[in-house]
Amino acid sequence: MRRLKPCSQVFYTRTYVADYGLNRSFIFYSLAELLPAALREANRQKTHEEIQALRKDRDVRLMDSRLKPPLLLDGATGTNLIAAGMPQGVCVEQWVLDNPQVILQLQKQFVEAGSDIIYAPTFSANAVKMKHYGLEGQLKELNASLVALSKQAAGDRALVAGDMSPTGQFCEPFGDMKFMDLVGVYAEQALYLKAAGADLIVIETMMSLLETRAAVLGARQAGLPIFATMTIGPGGRTISGTDILAALITLQGLGVSAFGLNCSEGPHSLAEQIARIAPYAQIPLIAKPNAGVPDENHPGGFTMSPEEMAEEMKELLQAGATIIGGCCGTTPAHLAAIRSMLDGYDFGGAATPKEPDEMIAANESQVFFMDENIQFGEPLECSVDMSDELIDADEEEGDTVLIHVTSFDDAYQFSQNAHMARVPVSFISENEEALEAALMLFNGRAIIDSRSELPEETIHRLATAYGAIVI
């Protein structure tokens, strides 16, 4: 294993919510320093009462009555723009601003077809992606202008979601990007989207739980409802190996308002996985599939007709989805057919039996069904290379691997080794900041050992903030 960088290179500042308006009690990494000075200054003007108002209880996520399912999302942006003449390989966001009539016409047609929510074309309007085009210094203007176009198209007939997507970066220990740097990238865009007037944040087409967690933690700074969808292959896993049930358990614990799947293939390909996760969903489920597969004879076109897609979308509703739409290849005609089907669908049928999620732990690749009688093994002390200890933990007594965190360094060092754990992860600590850092950096849903020498209210506050289980 390669040598890991010491934690002091990552965590070096404690920034209070009252200083920068961030939607957390405090944050260890200087996230505010990643944001432009003007945005930091604007956040400083927030009153204490406004900051408190941004905080959301874990069980109160849908903050806008207009977000009550069933809901119809919009259709494809990219493939419809290609069909309208957008060259491939260009900066989509800049092309849209240079050709505003195209997106206005498309999104007005989505609204006419019955969309309740349309996605602003801000898919890649973040610092990482825009750097490829030399536009990283124009993020505020890009996001503001793109949201403004969608709001013009929506009028008062639909909500506008600020759209965020993968950066293409790999976080440590598999890449060079620091996790909190990635949180900062998403926080910056989320705050610009909020300032532009977005009604909610959509995080879509995600392929790893780690980056999705970073996006959610960043988006939480805006204090808007968050929808998150991932793209999977056969077997219910993303290209990075994320299991979709593990993602649901982790992200609904982090407070997303709705979770689900987008892209992939047609509706039928997603129905099995929606049905698999539906019993454990404490939040609405989203399904936004492609309109079949690409049609080689028609650029931007896909194989399913509007009628075929609408009929197959019933499978997703039967599986448990209540927020639906279309991804690649979905035209306004497809949406109109889906709207007609949705309006006539009987949601009064047998509801999916729900399983409580209070005792389900997770890492990126699997979930663990726990009970209150679990046995904790001996605590492991953190170090730069913990691979042997974590592998051996699978054979040790105890139902979880218990990690003792006393400092920022401990939390960071474990995060760089956590992928080696094959059993549920639990933390014990006598240091509030170390415990929060461990929960923030762990890529999954962890357990907090209630024997931690911290006030009970502190333990439960951190558990609520990060969706952890307290035993």
Query: Long-range pairs for 99-108 at CB < 8 Å and ≥24 separation?
Result: 100/149, 103/77, 103/149, 103/150, 103/153, 104/149, 104/152, 104/153, 106/77, 106/80, 106/81, 106/332, 107/74, 107/149, 107/150, 107/153, 107/154, 108/153
Amino acid 239: pLDDT: 93
- Pairing status of strand 26-27 against strand 285-289: unpaired
Determine the pLDDT at residue 169: 93
- Mean pLDDT for each consecutive 10-residue tract of the chain (471 residues)? 27 27 34 43 38 35 75 96 94 98 98 98 97 96 98 97 96 93 97 98 97 97 97 91 97 97 92 96 97 80 93 97 97 98 88 82 95 89 95 84 96 96 96 97 97 96 96 93
Q: Which residue type sits at 407? A: S
Q: Is the peptide bond before 87 cis (omega within 30 degrees of 0)?
A: no
What's residue 59's pLDDT? 35
Q: What pLDDT, on a 0 to 100 scale, did the predictor assign at position 298?
A: 75
In 3-state terms, what secondary structure has residue 276?
helix
Strand residues in 63-182 grouped as ranges (E): 71-72, 117-119, 159-164
Residue 118 β-bridge partners: 160
Q: Which element (helix H / strand E) includes 182?
A: helix 179-196
Q: Tokens 């536009």 sit at which residue?
A: 135
Judge whether 409 and 6 are in contact, CB under 8 Å.
yes
The pLDDT, as a whole number, for residue 350 is 60
Pairwise CA distance, residues 341 & 118, whole Å:
19
Tell me if 157 sits within 8 A of 72, measured CB to CB.
no
Half-sphere exposure of 154 (CA within 13 A, CB side): 22
pTM over 0.85: yes
What's the pLDDT at 14? 29
Residue count (the chain): 471
Give pLDDT, residue 355: 84
pLDDT for 19 equals 28
Residue 391: half-sphere exposure toward Cβ, Cα within 13 Å: 4
DSSP conformation letters of 315-327: HHHHHT--EE---
Helices (H), 114-178: 127-131, 139-154
Contact 248, 281 (CB under 8 A): yes
List strands edge to edge, sheet with 323-324.
71-72, 323-324, 285-289, 258-263, 226-230, 200-206, 159-164, 117-119
- Give me the amino acid identity at 442: F
